Each structure stands twice: as structure tokens, then as C-alpha cells.
Chains A and B, each alone.
Chain A
Amino acid sequence: MLPPNEQRLRDAIEQARKQRTPLTSRGADWQVDLAGAYLIQAARLSATPLKGYKLGLLSPAKQQQMGIDHPIYGRIAADMLHESPVSLGQFLQPRVEPELVVWLRAPIPPSSRPDQAAQAIGGVFLGVDLLDSVWRDYRFSLVEVVADNASGGGFLLGPQLLPTWPLSGTLRLFMDGVCVGEGEVAALGDPGERLQWLAQQVGGLQAGQFVFMGSPAAAQPAQPGVLRVELDDHLLLCQLTP
């Protein structure tokens, strides 16, 4: 059972999703703190075994905007992993971000050091975070976005494994052949440090889990058409349908 304020925020999010109407941000009115927001997130995604996590708000600029000095995370349930074609009709306000995703071959205990966390990376994939904030126009407070699973809606993975984290390269996002976003892999920071932080927050990561490591490019509205992500000779293709 969630405390009353947390329950109120959770109900608001779930009702809005059910009614398919975005919510208007109410800033700090919920009287829920960050820990409470993560409680809501966990409660909403407790039914299914977790496929992994996503990281959000990675850039110092975004963090500053939210008044924090660390990223946020969301949870990935099995039914959030999609394969082409993906119907956008199931989402409220879909946006897409090109990402790198790590697959863990070993657990990362909460007390791990960054270099130990990096050792657990068993493979890297191209990915797409199909964001779907319940908050109108993606205007939200920190507590609101965290309670809303860090805007995590759907997730796509590329078909080819990169054996190690790429040290450089440009992630590019194309919609119907037009490049709509790009960013340097280096901007994602040190994966070991990111994983170590996440493991600490969630009480450890498990072998076999995926972690979406964030995007070096701004999110773009998702529209029906062909979504394409490229990094060097790696490719992720997905048909987005209405």
C-alpha cells in the first residue's frame, strides 16, 4: 500500500492513461518527494518480472533544469519490449530517442565499483526509447516524471550485438529517411559509472537485464513511417504504424 499522497498521484497517472488524456503538471502540489515517486513507479510495475531499466535526464543541462545532480531511472517490463512494426496508437504522446543499450552478463551488486560494473556488460545493442509521458507536452516536475516511469513507454532493440561499449561514433536517428537527431556516443558518459549509480539506486542489477543508457540526441515526436537508427555499420529499423 502506498501512502495517501503517493496513491493520489498514482491514481491520477493511471486514470489519465486509461482515459487516454494527458495530465497537466501540478508541480509540487502532490506533496510527494523523489523517494515517494520511485515508490509509485515500483508499485505500478510490480506485477511483471523486470527486463531492465532505462536511464533519463543524463545531460547536466537537463539535470540542472530539474534541480538535480544525477540521472533518473525507469523500469522496463517484458511487455514494453517491442518489435517492428509498432503501433503508435497504444501511446499517448510518443516520442523517440536513439540510444545504446547494455545487456548484463553478470549481476551488479549495489556496492560495486564502476570498473566492476563495466565488467558486467555482456553486449551492447542499438536501441530506441519510445517515450510516452502522461504529462501534457512533456512538461513535468521531477517527481511527476519519475512517478510516470521516467516517461518510459516502449523499447526497441537492434538485431546485432556489439561486443563492447563503443568509445566513439555518432548515433543518428532518421524518420522516413530524414535525419532528425544525432549525438556523440561519448556524450553518454562512462557506462561503468552509470551502471554503478543505477545498481546502487535499485539495490543491485541482475544478470540478463537490459539497461537503456540514455540518448545523446533530443527526443523527437514519433509519427507513422520508417524509424531508423544508425551507428557506424549498425542499424535498427522499425516500422511505426498509426
Chain B
Amino acid sequence: MPGQPVDAAAVQLAEVLEAVWEKQRAPVEPLSETAGLTQIDAAYAVQQAWTALREARGEQVMGHKIGLTSQAMQQQMGVDQPDFGRLWASRYFAPQDTQATIPIDLFWQPRLEGELAFLLGQDLEGPNVTLQEVLGATEAVAASLEIVDSRIRDWRIRIYDTIADNASFGAFTLGAWQRKARAFDLQQLGMLIYKNGALVAQGVGAACLGHPARAVAWLANTLHRYGTRLKAGDVVLSGALAASFPVTRGDVCTLCMQGFPPLTVIFA
């Protein structure tokens, strides 16, 4: 298709994004404007090329993140479905007890969101994966805080930009895995986030595609279209349960997910 990046072009864009990620250059103008990136598949090809580039330098993929899972975000992007990115292990911050410290300097324009994380105990291969199969195949569930960030200037993203930009992944932390949480009513699950002691986000499981496990089912079915599947041991962040909010150095944010121990992030 004219104007669509071929593989070499995908690699080139991946190198640009990598340079921004590594803070060797400032965020760039939207690739949808400057590089004619206006196809979903081409955008995923960039994401894939970027992941391959990082893997060649020792990066590991822990699983996937799902984005654009709320109606509000989809409307804002003018799409009717979510997107996905890869969870890069170099940006996983394990909490000490219930608290993780994350250097704010890693990011350009960080925002925080609260999510549910699924740890798969079995492979899940599309098509036709249902949310009940996701719950069955889930080994355990954890509360998660994800930092989203954009390598695109001022977050001026279209769907193609964010997909290429690894679904605006920044970093994440996870609370303790809980097997019993598979049996929670994940639709009804309430979530609060406090920033420096003030309540800044309140969400519910149903805000994520109606049911967080439905987002994971969407991912399994979408990966099938790209010839791959979810594997046992994968971590999946299912998408935000409430709108994200900006964070800055010194912020202390605590996630209270119903039925889970609280999880705190300190931005150092």
C-alpha cells in the first residue's frame, strides 16, 4: 500500500522510538503524520520491530498489556476496539512488601493507571476464546499499577501512534498474586487510587470492556490473527479501571483494589 512502511521502514521507526525511550532524543511528532503510519497492522509491525530490537539487546517480554479498554478512551481515539503492547521486563519494578520505588526520570510525560493483572496457568489460543476460558486458564490475579508514557510529543496520539509506541507502555508493578481472586466478581471489583493522600481515581472492573477477563479474551483472539497465542506464565495487564492521571517526582500513589492488599508506588 502506498505510503505504508514496509519492514525496513518499521525498523527505522522502531529505532526512532527506541532513541526516545532511551532518552537519546526528545519525543517525536506523531508517526501518523510524519511517517504515513495509518494502518493498524503496520503500526503493530513497528511495535514488533521495536520489541525485536530491544530483545536483541537483552530485553525480555513478560507478557502483554491491553490499552484502550474503556469506552471513553476508544471514543477519544475514534476506534471500537482495544490495542495491545508488550510488557518489557526491564521496566517491571517489583515491590518490596507492598511498595515499589520507580525513578521518574525514566519517563517523558508519565501517567498512572490502576489495573488487574492476570497470570496465565495455561496457554490460550484464539479464535473464539471467551472470558470464562480466561478465568479458567488464569493461575492468579494481582492488582497492578502501570505507568503509561508516550514517545510522541504531548501525547498527541492517534491509534497508529500508540500501537507503534508499544501501546504507550512505560513501566509497571504488581501486588502479590492471589489465586482466590480468580473467583472474585471481577466486573464488580472496586478500585481507588490515592495520590499523596488525595483520592484521584475511582474505578470498577466493568470499566474495562465490561469485564477485565473479556479484554484478555480479546487479546488471545487478536494475537491469533497475528499468528501467535498467550502462553502459560504470561502476565497480562487487562486495561485501566479508571482514567489515568499525571504523576511527577515525589508523588506517592496507593492503589486500593477490593479484596487485594494495597499497593504503593513512590516516584523517586
Residues of A in contact with B (beta carbons under 8 Å apart):
51, 78-79, 81, 101, 103, 105, 122-123, 125, 157-163, 207-208, 210
Contact = CB atoms under 8 A, between A and B. Distances in A.
A160 B184 CA distance: 7
B158 interface: no
A159 B122 contact: no
Interface string B107-135: 00000000000000110000110111101
Contact of A161 (B121, B127, B128, B135): B135
Contacts, number: 54
B128 A81 contact: yes
Given A105-B122, A123-B135, A161-B183, 11 more contacts: A51-B128, A81-B130, A103-B136, A105-B136, A105-B137, A123-B136, A159-B131, A159-B186, A160-B183, A160-B185, A162-B183
Interface size bracket, B side: 20 to 34
Given A81-B128, A105-B122, A159-B211, A208 B133 contact: yes
A120 B135 CA distance: 15
B131 A122 contact: no
Most buried by A among B136, B182, B186: B136
B94 to A, nearest CB: 27
A125 B122 CA distance: 18
A78 B132 CA distance: 13
A208 B229 CA distance: 15
Contacts of A157: 130, 132
B180 interface: yes
B184 to A, nearest CB: 8
Nearest to B124: A208
A163 B128 CA distance: 23
Nearest to A161: B135
Interface in B178-212: 180, 182-187, 211
Contacts of B127: 78
Interface of B: 121-122, 127-128, 130-133, 135-137, 180, 182-187, 211, 213
Most buried by B among A51, A105, A160, A163: A160
A81 B133 CA distance: 12
B185 A163 contact: no
Query: 7 closest Cβ contacts across the A-B interface?
Result: A78-B128, A103-B136, A161-B135, A123-B136, A157-B132, A163-B183, A160-B185
23 contacts: A78-B127, A78-B128, A79-B128, A81-B128, A81-B130, A101-B132, A103-B135, A105-B136, A122-B137, A123-B132, A123-B183, A125-B132, A157-B132, A159-B131, A159-B211, A160-B184, A160-B186, A161-B132, A161-B182, A162-B183, A163-B183, A208-B137, A210-B132
Contacts of A125: 132
Contacts of A51: 128
Contacts of B182: 123, 161, 163
A103 B213 CA distance: 15
A109 B135 CA distance: 23
